[in-house]
């Protein structure tokens, strides 16, 4: 049964039709409600003018459409917009809108804080607070549409605060609404889930039948090099992770993107490139090199442009398709690894 005053966006389409059935209303009202919420993007049940007043009253009595409060909005010189939202229980999250010539990408958070404590990332510094609900995940997209008045958001990347695969059920529920023609209608190939490498959940994701993109934060080429930067590697060692990625790409026939941070003198060495070449041999994948972005609590530095390019070239020679990620929104701390859940 539906909780009193639950956010209606916590209901999947089948759950909403089941709710309508339970109150003896026709299932087609679910289509109308989805259209109001995700396509017309209204925030009040009273504005859902093709529903009877009785049904609107019923929805108002049972559900809310919570709007996260905007605590801060920063606009980068490159047009990237970062918003710090406050949720109902005062937890905070950040969301980033990244405009480009052919696309508008939204970087969405999935948890308040993060448990995984990667040694270069701001998101885990204050620890982990809680999972976001499906409604809170979706509300970031709806709210950013309004706040930024941007061109239509075309791509979603789950690369904000938190570990998406550690909040699996709410993530998948949100992905289905984002992808559904009745919902936000964003193609699966324009939705990317990034993970620090939660192996059982990668295996589960492979069975979902979703055509979404999977990105895996690798950041090392061996257990030794990865353990130092990513404590999660002690639980899910790199060889097992690569095996899971291999199974994923075989089951879905999708290419995997590996993210690899470039830290001067640490990750950007010839030995690392050789190690990556060996590790990724024969896997349907590409590697996205991310020069490390500054986080005040850590004193890492990015390599020089020359070092970055020669690292990429060495990987290419070893048969690994490598690209360099251009940082966006760095001047307002909106780039990879700079998002937080505290002010």
Residue 201 found at the interface with ligand SAH (CB under 6 A): no
Residue 336 found at the interface with ligand SAH (CB under 6 A): yes
- Of the CA atoms within 13 Å of residue 339, those in its CB half-sphere come to 31
Residue 238 found at the interface with ligand SAH (CB under 6 A): no
Q: Is 121 a catalytic residue?
A: no
| C-alpha R_g of the chain | 21
Extract the tokens encoding 125: 């510094």
Residue 292 found at the interface with ligand SAH (CB under 6 A): yes
Which candidate in 91, 94, 136, 259 is catalytic?
94
Residue nearest to ligand SAH (CB): 337
Residue 261 found at the interface with ligand SAH (CB under 6 A): yes
* Given 12, 105, 267, 293, the residue binding ligand SAH (CB under 6 A): 293
Q: Is 94 a catalytic residue?
A: yes
Residue 89, Cβ density class (10 Å: 0-12 exposed, 13-18 middle, ≥19 buried): exposed
* Given 259, 275, 328, 333, the residue binding ligand SAH (CB under 6 A): 259
- CA angle 135/34/213 to nearest 5° reads 60
Min dist CB 128 to ligand SAH, Å, is: 11
Residue 225 found at the interface with ligand SAH (CB under 6 A): no
Which candidate in 107, 114, 134, 336 is catalytic?
336
Rounded CA separation 127/185 (Å): 34
Q: Give, for 201, the enclosing helix (H) or strand (E).
A: helix 199-206
Residue 105 found at the interface with ligand SAH (CB under 6 A): no
50-76 exposure pattern, b = at least 16 Cβ within 10 A, e = fewer: ebeeebbebbeebbbbbebeeeeebbb
Site string for ligand SAH, 158-197 (x = CB under 6 A): -x---x------------------------------xxx-
- Binding residues for ligand SAH, rule CB under 6 A, total 17
Residue 118 found at the interface with ligand SAH (CB under 6 A): yes
Min dist CB 308 to ligand SAH, Å, is: 12
Secondary structure (H, E, C), 42-84: CCCHHHCCCCCHHHHHHHHHHEECCCCEEEEEEECCCCCEEEE
Query: Of the two residues 16 and 335, which places its CB atom closer to ligand SAH in the complex?
Result: 335
Extract the tokens encoding 98: 């990244």
Q: Which stretches of the chain bind ligand SAH, using CB under 6 A?
A: 118, 120-121, 159, 163, 194-196, 217, 259, 261, 290, 292-293, 295, 336-337
Q: Which residues are catalytic?
A: 94, 336
């Amino acid at each position: 049964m539906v909780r009193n005053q639950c956010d209606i966006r916590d209901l999947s389409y089948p759950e909403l039709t089941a709710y309508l059935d339970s109150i003896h209303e026709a299932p087609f009202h679910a289509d109308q409600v989805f259209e109001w919420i995700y396509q017309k993007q209204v925030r009040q049940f009273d504005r859902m003018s093709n529903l009877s007043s009785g049904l609107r009253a019923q929805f108002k009595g049972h559900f809310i459409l919570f709007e996260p409060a905007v605590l801060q909005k920063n606009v980068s010189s490159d047009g990237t917009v970062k918003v710090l939202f406050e949720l109902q229980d005062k937890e905070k999250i950040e969301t980033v809108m990244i405009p480009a010539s052919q696309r508008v990408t939204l970087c969405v958070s999935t948890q308040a804080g993060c448990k995984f404590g990667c040694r270069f990332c701001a998101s885990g510094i204050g620890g982990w607070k809680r999972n976001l609900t499906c409604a809170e995940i979706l509300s970031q997209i709806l709210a950013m549409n309004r706040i930024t008045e941007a061109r239509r958001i075309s791509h979603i990347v789950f690369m904000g605060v938190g570990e998406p695969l550690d909040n699996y059920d709410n993530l998948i529920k949100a992905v289905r609404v984002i992808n559904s023609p009745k919902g936000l209608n964003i193609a699966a190939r324009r939705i990317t889930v990034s993970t620090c490498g939660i192996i059982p959940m990668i295996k589960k994701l492979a069975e979902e039948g979703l055509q979404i993109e999977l990105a895996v934060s690798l950041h090392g080429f061996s257990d030794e090099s990865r353990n130092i930067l990513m404590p999660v590697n002690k639980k899910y060692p790199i060889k097992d992770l690569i095996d899971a990625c291999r199974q994923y790409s075989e089951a879905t026939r999708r290419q995997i993107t590996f993210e690899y941070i470039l830290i001067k003198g640490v990750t950007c060495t010839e030995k690392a490139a050789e190690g990556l070449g060996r590790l990724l041999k024969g896997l349907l994948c590409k590697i996205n090199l991310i020069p490390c972005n500054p986080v005040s609590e850590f004193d890492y530095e990015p390599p020089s442009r020359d070092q970055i390019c020669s690292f990429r070239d060495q990987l290419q020679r070893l048969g690994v398709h490598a690209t360099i990620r251009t940082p966006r929104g760095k001047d307002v701390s909106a780039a990879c690894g700079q998002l937080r859940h505290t002010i």
